[in-house]
Structure formats: structure tokens, C-alpha cells
Structure 1
Amino acid sequence: MLRVALGTAIRSLGSNRKFPVLFRKMASFCQEERGPANTLQYRIYYKNDKGQFISPLHDIPWQVSKGPNVYNMVVEVPRWTNSKMEIATKEPLNPIKQDVKKGKLRFVANCFPHKGYIWNYGAIPQTWENPKHIDPNTNQGGDNDPIDVCEIGSRICKRGEVIQVKVVGVLAMIDEGETDWKVIAIDVNDENADKINSIADVEKIKPGYLDATRSWFKIYKIPDGKPANVFAFDGEYKDRDFAEKVIQETHDFWVHSHDGSVECDFAMQNVSCSDSKFKTSCEEAAKIVDGAPGKGPAADITDEKAEKWFYV
């Protein structure tokens, strides 16, 4: 198994799988922006607590603690925004960038009554939905990305932020013939973190949120001329134990991509995975970032899709 230094210890979380509201982070990560925002050149690179450039996909640990499980989440898209930011899996050091379609920056349609994403949206690092693995539950391969997370807490996170979450369930979306798991999780520091420990708790504390989430994923590509998405299990949310088995499986795929037993087309450079065939030096990582353009002032957003409402 790959080993990553995990840093500062956390406060004991107890044995009843409930989580305290206050939570001390295991490690600190900071971001460095390069290129003007709202342009094709914009990137967010990451540094660890030693000031070394790292890959958020490969160098940030997937788990913070076990029993109960706490996971790191890289926030790609803050709630209420719709710039389609994502971990750049094919670029060295895997910075966050805005997705591009036909040479233009991609914005997800605002489908009435929603404005942008309705959760903080991101991914669990050190995971990979293997496209060559046919999932027996969905009969489809993975979507070739780290596993997605919808964080349902009260706070609007910052783009690129790394937060710690507990998982409460998962939705199995089938997106254009690919399995695209949507993990439902909550920030362990959220005011409701000690109350939400299951899918049933979500419906109790935040009624309607799960129905809205399923509807959002069903219709959000329709304004782009694509069909409605469908779901395995007739759109039923699966529980925490099921979700954590899926996450474990995607982590195992990521591990095998680094030991060379499974082929993966990600950019694999990392500075801390001791058993990885693709480990590089901190000096080489710094050279990658040095080659990126300077930050510069943000450009104006000219795509009307960013603000327009679509009625589906």
C-alpha cells in the first residue's frame, strides 16, 4: 500500500461513530493561484505545510481517521457558483482548473430554481473511478475521475479549500454510459455534524435536500442538448456503509495505478507517496509551477450561461 505522511494527530472521535462539532485538522494545505481567473490559463496549485508544491490528487491523504472514518475533500466548486472547476487529472501536479468545451470555459447551466451547484462540490483525493472496471451494481465502467462529493453543510466553502468530511450515503448516477458516484457528506465542523450520521438524518434535518440533489443531477445537462441522466437503484440513495465500500474500492484502484498493476492516464507526479513509481522531487515539482503564468487580474465573465436561468 502507498504510504503518505499524515502529520498532526486529531482529537479522539469516540467509538459510537458520532462526531464532535469541533475538529482539529490533521494537516494544513495552502493554495497558489496562477493565471488570471476566468481565463484558460487559470490554475490553483497546492502546497503542504512545509511550503512544498504537491499534487492535491496524489499527495493529500484520502482518509484523516479510521473508526469512524473521516475523509479529506478538495472543494472544486463552492455552493451557488457554476464555473465548472475540477482537478486537472491530466496535468502535472493536478492543479484545479476550469473545464473547457470547444475551446470555451465551461459553466454548468442554472436550472430553475437553482443557481449554480446546490452544495459544496469536490472530490476525495487518492481515489479513481476506473473506467475499465465494470461495477456489478451499475453494469458500467467508472468515469475516469476521482470520486465526487456533495458537501451539504451550512458554510459556503472557498474554491480549492481542503476540508474534512464524514460520509452519510451515496447516489449512483449513470452519466453517458459511465458510473459517476455522488458521495453525500458533511463537514465535520458543521453545526449539524453531530446530528447528521445517515441518509435518514439528512431528510430529517434538511427535508427536501436529497430530492433536490437527485433532480439537479438528472436535469443539469439538458440545457446543453443532452438527455436526462439516470440512476442505478431506481435513484435510491445507498447508506453510509455502502458508500464507504465504494470509496475504499476507488482508493484501491488509485493505489494500483501507482504501483503499476493497473494502467491509468492521470498525470501521476507526486512528492510524498513512498511506494509510487511516479514520485518526483520537490525541486521538480517547483519547476512545474514556475512554468505557469503569473496570477494577474481576473477577467470579466462574458458567457451569458453563467447568469442565465434555464427552465427545464
Structure 2
Amino acid sequence: MIQHPWHEASPGPNPPHEIHALIEIPAGSKAKFEVDKESGLIKLDRVVFASVHYPAHYGFIPQTLGDDKDPLDILVLCSQGVPPLCLVPARVVGVMRMIDRGEGDEKILAVASGDRSFDGIENVSQLPASFRAELTHFFSVYKQLERKEVRVEEPEGPEVAKELILRALDFYKQKYPKK
């Protein structure tokens, strides 16, 4: 039996403080993978049509629903490679808000809880300025050659991110009530 990662994986032991990230795209990839909503399998959505790659592991928080009607996106920093469909315990450090084709889109920012390289990192402001700039640059340009405009705002801290997670967990429960 295949477990559906969006609907059946746990959002974490203590959301929004201790959460799980279901990784779809490994850091360094140009391939945009996503979990198929019907089957729960991973599928190739497209290859990023630009000379950039994902600067962090990218995925979603299970059992969440964002304003875009998709699971809440998350980027996870980890010093090691993480394959698609890996469930990563993570600590939320912030959020990046953006406007993608006129629609609001939030990306939760987190660090892998089990990676000692990120001990002490509690807020996005503690990440190197060069990494924050790389993240902003990636999301500003990754759709440019497809003629799609994305406007990226400055990252916000963990309290704002945690409020968004709680809201997305609630939206999910409203849309998909337990039977």
C-alpha cells in the first residue's frame, strides 16, 4: 500500500514549532519535482528554464493547505543531500513571501533539526546574508525566461511563519476533515 505523503504523513510532533518537511526537490537541482495530488507519487513537473538551481531542499509540510490551494511550501537547510520523498524533522526559522503571477505565495524557511551544523539558528536573520541574498535572487529569476514575474519580499522571522503554518493546518482540516 502506498501512503499518500500529503494526506497521511505527519505534519510533525509539535507543529508549528517542530514540524516535518516532505522533500520534493533536493538542493542543487534544476528539476522541479512535485508530489502528484492524486497518486502521491513524485513526478517531474518541469526543468527550471534558467541558469539557476534550488538553493535549499524544497518541499511541503504534510496536512497543510496554503492560500494557493497547495500544501504549504518549505525550504530546508541541511548540510547533507536529501532525496525526494524524505521526511525531514525541521525547525522553522522564518518565511519568504512573494507575489507569483499576481497571487500571494509563501515559502516557510527551516533548518533540519538533526543537523548539528545549524545548532543555534532560530531566526532567518541568523543565516548568512549571502545565503539570504541567494535565496531572494533564485525566486526573483527562476521563472524569468518563462516570462513569468515573481516579486520577492524580505524574509520575516519564525513567529510570522508559525502563524502561517497554524493557519495552513486549519485550512487543511476544514477542506479534508477526518472521517
Query: Could you say which TM-score interval applies, normalised by the shorter chain?
Result: over 0.9
2:42 is aligned to 96
Which is richer in strand?
Answer: 2
Alpha-carbon shift at residue 95 of structure 1 (Å): 1.9
* Amino acid of the structure 1 residue aligned with 2:170: D
Of residues 230, 233, 237, the one that matches 2:151 is 230
Q: What residue is the counterpart of 1:55 in the other structure?
A: 4
SS in 1 for 2:75: strand
Equivalent residue, structure 2, for 1:128: 65
Residue 32 of structure 2: which of 67, 76, 84 is its match? 84
State the Cα distance separating 1:210 from its structure 2 match: 0.8
Distance 2:166 2:14 in 1: 13
AA of the residue aligned to 2:168: T
Paired AA for residue 151 in structure 2: V
Counterpart residue identity of residue 57, structure 1: W
Q: Aligned with 1:97: secondary structure? A: strand
Please report how far the alpha carbon of residue 118 of structure 1 lies from its aligned counterpart in structure 2 after TM superposition: 1.0
Query: 2:31 is matched by which residue type in structure 1?
Result: S
Does the alignment pair 1:181 with 2:121?
A: no
The alpha-carbon deviation at position 167 of structure 1 amounts to 0.4
Q: Which amino acid aligns with 1:98?
A: L
* Structure 2 gap segments, 5+ residues each: none
1:245 and 2:163 matched? yes
In structure 1, what residue type is equivalent to 2:47? F
- Checking the alignment, whether the CA contact within 8 Å between 2:50 and 2:143 is kept in structure 1 is no
1:192 to partner: Cα distance: 2.5
CA RMSD of aligned residues (A): 1.6
Q: 2:120 aligns with which of 192, 195, 199?
A: 195
The residue matched to 1:84 in structure 2 has which SS? strand
SS of aligned partner of 1:192: helix
- In structure 1, give the amino acid aligned to 2:35: I
CA distance in 2, matches of 1:166, 1:109: 31
TM-score, with normalisation over the residues of structure 1?
A: 0.55
Deviation at 1:213, TM superposition (A): 0.5
Name the aligned partner's letter for residue 126 of structure 2.
D
1:169 pairs with one of 94, 102, 120: 94
Matched, 1:216 2:138: yes
Q: Give the CA deviation at 1:58.
A: 0.7
The alpha carbon displacement at 1:172 in A equals: 0.6
What does 1:1-312 align with in structure 2 at a 5 Å threshold? 52-65=1-14, 69-89=17-37, 91-92=38-39, 94-99=40-45, 106-111=46-51, 114=52, 116-129=53-66, 142-202=67-127, 206-227=128-149, 229-231=150-152, 235-259=153-177, 275-276=178-179
**Greater per-residue helix proportion:** 2
Distance 2:166 2:176 in 1: 16
Instruction: Give the TM-score normalised by structure 2.
Output: 0.93
Letter of the 1:153 partner, please give it. Answer: C
Question: Deviation per CA, 1:14-72, whole angstroms, max 9, x where unpaired?
Answer: xxxxxxxxxxxxxxxxxxxxxxxxxxxxxxxxxxxxxx421100111112225x82111
**Structure 1 residue 153, shift from structure 2 partner:** 2.0
Aligned residues: 179
Runs of 5+ consecutive residues of structure 1 not aligned to the other structure? 1-51, 100-105, 130-141, 260-274, 277-312
CA distance in structure 1 between the partners assigned to 2:156 and 2:59 by the alignment: 19
Describe the SS at the equivalent of 1:249.
Answer: helix
What is the letter of the counterpart of residue 11 of structure 2? W
Structure 1 residues 156, 110: CA separation in 2 closer, same or farther (over 3 Å shift)?
farther
Letter in 1 for 2:17: N
Query: Which SS does the other structure have where 1:197 is aligned?
Result: coil
